[in-house]
Amino acid sequence: MNASIASQLRNAIASTICLLAVCCGAAAQVVSVPFNENGFLFSDAPTLTFVWVGAKARATLVFIPGGEGRIGLTPDRKSLGGFYAATLKPLSDPNLTSGLFNVVVFDSPVALPSGNDYPNSRQSKEHLLRVESVARHFRDQYSRPVWIMGHSNGAASMTEFYKMLEQNGQTALVSGLIYSSARNGSSFGDKTNIPILFLAHERDGCAKSMPSVSRAVYERIRNTNQQKIDYIQIRGGEDQLQNPCTSGFHMFHKASNEVLQAIDQFANSILPPEQ
């Protein structure tokens, strides 16, 4: 099968999925992405992802969670609640937002230890190659530009991944970044040049993800990045009497509408109009 025919088939499949989403509500499913890279002690387990397909999607957003990176997806999973349902799912639903994205939630099959100062596990070759394989898979499947959103420790994955793309001359794979409640130390390269939205809650109580630190990262990169970048400070929501690094303001608890509006407005200013 030549490349042209293969591309036409992918587009037809994506269009059919979109039509199903319009008729039956946003399609949600677990998609297994093969991992075929070879390396010392690499796991050969596929990367499971949870996907909401947007009926009017103009891009695909790959979300990388914080913590140890593991959601515990199983192939029969039909829904995700909590932060995922409140803050990510609506980005695929044109009844709730502009519906600009197919949303893909990345679930690492191996634990990614958080570390005391910086989650060095997020720098591992296996992890970064998994992120790349997921980004390529959904870029090819939906024929839409890929954005990456990293939250908390996931922001370290995102920045390390993008630095790897810069080193390999492959930055065309990703069209936008969302740096959310980022782990301290998550930084960009000196020549990073891509649209970036920074999100931080003004009352984030997690000492490992301080808003002042993410603001400093923003201030540094805006002097060199020629693309659109914004820093949005979230102000609403509620605290929770739990670990401040896994709940409350850090997770935008009851502030999802603010977050959705910020992402929606930023993406609308970047993404080309629907054809």
* Exposed / middle / buried, residue 245 (Cβ in 10 Å: 0-12, 13-18, 19+): buried
Domain boundaries, the chain: 3-270
Q: What's the average model confidence in pLDDT over 221-243?
A: 96
pLDDT digits (tens, 9 = 90+) for 60-69: 999 999 999 9
Tell me the average pLDDT of the chain.
Answer: 91
pLDDT the model gives residue 3: 46
Least-confidence region, from 10-14, 158-162, 221-225, 238-242: 10-14
Residue 233 and residue 239: Cα distance in Å, rounded?
16
Q: For residue 149, which of 263, 14, 271 has the smallest C-alpha distance?
A: 263
pLDDT the model gives residue 273: 84
Q: For residue 52, which of 116, 95, 9 has the smallest C-alpha distance?
A: 95
Q: For residue 178, which of 56, 272, 53, 91 has the smallest C-alpha distance?
A: 91
Q: What is the CA radius of gyration of the chain?
A: 18
Residue 228 predicted with pLDDT over 90:
yes
* DSSP sequence for 104-166: EEEE-SS-----SSS-GGGG-HHHHHHHHHHHHHHHHHH-S-EEEEEETHHHHHHHHHHHHHH
pLDDT digits (tens, 9 = 90+) for 54-89: 999 999 999 999 999 999 999 999 999 999 999 999
pLDDT the model gives residue 87: 97
Q: Whats the size of the chain, residue-wise? A: 275
Give the amino acid at 103.
V
Pairing of strands 59-64, 101-107: parallel
pLDDT the model gives residue 22: 38
Residue 114 predicted with pLDDT over 70:
yes
Residue 5 predicted with pLDDT over 70:
no
H/E stretch holding 215: helix 211-221
pLDDT digits (tens, 9 = 90+) for 8-46: 444 444 444 444 443 444 579 999 999 999 888 899 999
Q: Which architecture does CATH list for 3-270? A: 3-Layer(aba) Sandwich (3.40)
Alpha-carbon distance values, 103 to 56, 163, 194, 204 (Å): 12, 23, 20, 25
pLDDT digits (tens, 9 = 90+) for 176-214: 999 999 999 999 999 999 999 999 999 999 999 999 999
Collapsing DSSP to helix, strand or coil, 68 comes out as coil
pLDDT the model gives residue 26: 55
pLDDT the model gives residue 39: 87
Confidence class for position 2, pLDDT limits 50, 70, 90 = low
Residue 162 and residue 177: Cα distance in Å, rounded?
9
pLDDT the model gives residue 23: 40
CB 251 within 8 A of CB 206: no
